[in-house]
Amino acid sequence: MQSQRPRYSYFLILILEGICAISKFESIFMTVLDQVLEVETANEAAINAARETAAKTVAEAKVAKQTALADATSTAATTIESATQKAQTKADTEAVNIMTQATKEAAAIKSTIEGRAAELTKTVADAFNSIKAA
């Protein structure tokens, strides 16, 4: 029986070593599982952070677009108003110049007509006087 005891001890040692190996494997496996879980959690956090950043960027881009549109509209309105005022000023100046020129021409025509009327009046008066004197 003594010869079987060392065998049992040997088998017992093998069984204990197997249990220890399984325990080590289990510990390593759990460590690997913990690391995988940490990586998955980190990935999920990174994805969520990227989504939030993307949403912020899109919102900021929309605000920037609206601001740019408002600025462009305001600039265009200011430019149109300025161009309208310049065109109106130019039109007013041209109208005054045309009116001044027309007034001068009308005065010249009036003076010519008045001169001719005076000549005709004198001619008629002279003709009447010569008929009356004859």
How is residue 39 written in tokens? Answer: 């990586």
Lowest mean pLDDT among 10-14, 63-67, 105-109: 10-14
- Say yes or no to pLDDT of 58 above 80: yes
- Give the CA distances from residue 23 to residues 19, 30, 32, 108, in Å, rounded to whole numbers and listed in that order: 6, 10, 14, 125
- Give the CA distances from residue 44 to residues 35, 85, 117, 132, in Å, rounded to whole numbers and listed in that order: 14, 61, 106, 128
- Say yes or no to pLDDT of 26 above 80: no
Dihedral (C-alpha) 56, 58, 64, 66: value to the nearest 10 degrees?
-120
- Mean local confidence (pLDDT), 105-113: 91
What is d(CA 38, CA 19) in angstroms, rounded to the nearest whole number? Answer: 28
- Say yes or no to pLDDT of 77 above 90: yes
pTM exceeds 0.75: no
- Mean local confidence (pLDDT), 33-62: 90
**pLDDT given at position 6:** 57
Q: Which residues contact 39 (CB under 8 A, 6 or more apart)?
A: none
